[in-house]
A and B are shown apart, each in its own frame.
Chain A
Amino acid sequence: MKPALATLLARAQQLYEDLDLAAVRAWKEAAPGRRAIGYLPIYVPRELIHAAGMLPVGIVGGGDRVEIIRGDAYFQSYICHIPRSTLELALAGRLAALDGMLFPSICDVIRNLSGMWKLLFPDLYVRYIDVPQNYDPAVGGAYWRRELDQLREELSRLAGRSIEDDDLRRSIAIYNENRKAIRELYRARSRQPWIYPTSEMYLFLRAGLLLPPEEHTRLLREYLEQAGREEDRREQDQSRVVLTGMFCEQPPLGLLLTLERAGCWVVDDDLLLGLRWIMGDVAVEGDPLGNLVQAFLHESSATASRYEPEGRRGRWLVDSVRSNQAEGVIFCAPSFCDPALLEQPLLVAALEREGIPHTQFKYSEDTGQFAVIREQAGTFSDSIRLWSER
């Protein structure tokens, strides 16, 4: 690896390991009065936080690097892992850099976690973000507009300054650039997964949870350029797979590495989906809040926590397989993840209608043993290479 890429990678790795939010504290200390707002997966309108001059900070639990001491006392054994490690971080004071927390509507766990936060941290700004499941602009759009109006008012109060339309337009443009860079990275990985392996690319995506979007966009572009110069990264005969089920609780990095070592190139995924929830650009001109509403209604990613009115569950997955020339799908969901696991039979049915191979396993963010996953993924990859018409 060339020094330039090694330096970038070290920076991304450092941010990945930054569970104490040192980067956020540094950002706040760089200018007086700065504030940071945490948000859980999947989607929050980060543009509004940014337009208030505050830093949106993505919180995705503690991964495999947090020993759960207090968090387990708050959750039954049959509840997924992300709330317990997130609470562990908070109770240990490791999220103290945050001046507020947003909890998007994704499942009952994250929803109730918002209430737990209100009870445990009564002095902190906490809001549940209930996105519309009706996509008629006059109905769900009108509701979402009022919700965003309220959020705008609350964030303005917290920031001590009003969020002007021009502020919001600037932020929308900045996030458009960020999403564009992420889309370019996804396209580049799909074309050459050996140049942009997921286990590495993921670290650069994760940096987007902590960095201001402008800085994250620069980092992504530098990575795109520097990784592309790595001549010793050569094509290998591995299977091309789409990975799905990882939109909330994140897999340990070791799991992504294991899949690659087992012969799978991931060519599409739903990791950190919130960073690219809006699939296209949000319009910049005109009414910026209205533009955010329109983007949510018409440009949102299809995923388990979002209602699909046309009954075409799985269409996006089949489309992804086709457009990325994938040869199979790996369902890789966190244990006890209601959205992913309830949806899985529908997705399996969609794949089977199209004759697309698939396999499935579960993980927890602190899974430490990958032997079984490696064997299963390896067998899946072999079966694709041996039996599919390639």
Chain B
Amino acid sequence: MSPEIPSVKPAVPADTRKERSMLLQKELIAQHYAALERAPQEGRKVVYTFVPGNLTELMRSFDLLPVLPEINALQSGMRKLSGDYIQEAEKAGHSEDVCSYVKCDIGMLKKGNRSPIGTQLPPPDLLLLSYTGCFTFMKWFELLRHEYDCPVAMLHVPYQSDGLIHAHHRDYIVQQLRSEVIPKFEKITGRRYDEDRMKERLALSARAEDDLVWVLESARNVPSPIDAYFGGVYYIGPIFSAFRGTPEGVEYYRTLRAEVEERVRARQGPMTPEGPMSDERYRLVVEGPPNWTSFREFWKMFHEEGAVVVASSYTKVGGLYDRGFRHDPTRPLETLADYCLGCYTNLGLPSRLDLLEAYVREYRADGFLINSVKSCNSFSVGQLLMLRQLEERTGVPGGFIESDLVDPRYFSSANIKNRIESYFQMLGQKRHARVNA
């Protein structure tokens, strides 16, 4: 049985209803950081883990508080803190060639481990190394283990190179949950695994997932009521981080869905930092993570040209819910395994290409754009081939730009703007040619 969802007080007055979900999310994040700051005094245990393949329901069923270093890094990037952190890590011997999330995190730690909003982050009681879709994760937590001298629970998630979940892959993950992860959770918390609590959490996850999918798929409307990339990264925030399987998460997605439903009814375009976008000129699919250090500037390059992203792969790194997956309370550990296996970066390139092709068709995109980030080989290797093959398969023009996640040295504003403007000009000319044909 699912627990009751507590009613959440309106975070903002009724006359700003459209932005209520944003303020609600901000409140959730602030509350979570505050809880983390209090954790050592309150005796609560803290687990650091990653977004892809995260086990939030399991952690929450043990009353563990998750910390997601990727989220800290990207938020540090958005708050212009990451550049200093990265330099701090490089001074300590970390190569300029490697992932800037890792260096941002190490630099943040070396500068006192203050969260991006300024609160104190507690050290981990356990590092949950969900090794899903990214090689760097393994080295990242080995580096953190060296810094914190704390235990690690390794969860190896096999790669879905052929896009299929094999029974022995699922079994392998379930066995690791039983023999490695759960015993370590039990050890640090002194509590036994409680499957009924897990089932309650999973039921809440599925409810939030339904609403998230509805929101993401609302972009099939013309005009799209959402931007599924720049706006999408906010929409995935709670479910990809600490709030999957929580009443607060369910409430957030219920609120968000209601807002988007209203925009659909009113035939409104997406909200942007500069207000609602009114003129939808180009519908795009985007592959790859965004740049975080110049996020608003980057977004502006799109919305000021009337370009809306109708589907993106980045919003699937923490789960491919829009292709049908839901956490299933009737098979708690197996469903966690399936979830981990299906995260976007854990899929082979052919599966990724199929997905992007489906997005271009289903969302009636005029084009697709790849933002290739230096830090993330998991995303980036093969993107130039994907660009070619996606153009061949769909006949839709592709664009390619390069930046980084949180290293400001690799965001060349003028270059990127030039490329994007040229790309939009090309889309415009193609459209003009079609109309005149």
Cβ contact within 8 Å between A311 and B135: no
- Assembly CA distance A115 to B383 (angstroms): 11
Enumerate A50-84 residues with CB–CB distance to B below 8 Å.
Answer: 73-76, 78-79, 83
Is residue A114 contacting chain B, with contact meaning CB distance below 8 A?
A: yes
Is residue A92 contacting chain B, with contact meaning CB distance below 8 A?
A: no
Cβ contact within 8 Å between B180 and A74: no
Nearest CB of chain A from residue B299's CB, rounded to whole Å: 23
Query: Chain B residues with Cβ under 8 A from A127's Cβ?
Result: 161
Most chain A CB within 10 A, of B352, B384, B402, is at: B384
Cβ contact within 8 Å between A134 and B156: yes
* With known contacts A112-B349, A138-B175, A311-B152, A343–B161 Cβ distance under 8 A: no
Question: Chain B 126-148, CB within 8 Å of chain A: the 1/0 string?
Answer: 00000100111011101101100
Which of B93, B156, B168, B180 lies in contact with A348, CB distance below 8 A? B93
* With known contacts A119-B385, A139-B176, A143-B168, A338–B98 Cβ distance under 8 A: yes
Cβ contact within 8 Å between B139 and A342: yes
Question: Chain B 312-356, CB within 8 Å of chain A: the 1/0 string?
Answer: 000000000000000000000000000000000000111011000
> What 7 additional pairs, Cβ within 8 angstroms, besides A107-B377, A118-B349, A341-B97?
A79-B377, A83-B381, A132-B172, A140-B156, A308-B142, A342-B99, A343-B139
Query: Chain B residues with Cβ under 8 A from A313's Cβ?
Result: 142, 146
Cβ contact within 8 Å between A109 and B377: yes
Cβ contact within 8 Å between B161 and A114: yes
Is residue B94 contacting chain A, with contact meaning CB distance below 8 A?
A: yes
Going nearest first, the 10 A-B pairs with the smallest beta carbon separation are A115-B349, A342-B139, A112-B381, A128-B161, A143-B172, A146-B168, A133-B156, A341-B95, A108-B377, A108-B378
Nearest CB of chain A from residue B365's CB, rounded to whole Å: 21
16 chain-A/chain-B pairs, Cβ below 8 angstroms: A74-B384, A106-B135, A108-B135, A111-B378, A111-B381, A112-B349, A136-B180, A139-B175, A142-B172, A146-B166, A147-B168, A307-B138, A313-B146, A335-B97, A338-B135, A339-B135
Is residue A120 contacting chain B, with contact meaning CB distance below 8 A?
A: yes
Query: B residues near A, CB below 8 A?
Result: 92-95, 97-99, 102, 131, 134-136, 138-140, 142-143, 145-146, 152, 154, 156, 158-159, 161, 166, 168-169, 171-172, 175-176, 179-180, 348-350, 352-353, 372, 374, 377-378, 380-385, 389, 402
Is residue A345 contacting chain B, with contact meaning CB distance below 8 A?
A: yes
Cβ contact within 8 Å between B180 and A139: yes
Query: Chain A residues with Cβ under 8 A from B171's Cβ?
Result: 142-143
- Assembly CA distance A115 to B355 (angstroms): 14
- Assembly CA distance A119 to B372 (angstroms): 19
- Assembly CA distance A370 to B98 (angstroms): 24
- Assembly CA distance A220 to B79 (angstroms): 59
Query: Chain B residues with Cβ under 8 A from A138's Cβ?
Result: 175, 179
Is residue A344 contacting chain B, with contact meaning CB distance below 8 A?
A: yes
Cβ contact within 8 Å between A116 and B385: yes
Cβ contact within 8 Å between A143 and B158: yes
Is residue A113 contacting chain B, with contact meaning CB distance below 8 A?
A: yes
* With known contacts A109-B377, A115-B350, A119-B389, A336–B97 Cβ distance under 8 A: yes
Cβ contact within 8 Å between A119 and B168: no
Cβ contact within 8 Å between A78 and B131: no
Query: Chain A residues with Cβ under 8 A from B378's Cβ?
Result: 108, 111-112
Question: Chain A 319-344, CB within 8 Å of chain B: the 1/0 string?
Answer: 00000000000000001111101111
Query: Chain A residues with Cβ under 8 A from B152's Cβ?
Result: 309, 311
Most chain B CB within 10 A, of A113, A115, A336, is at: A115
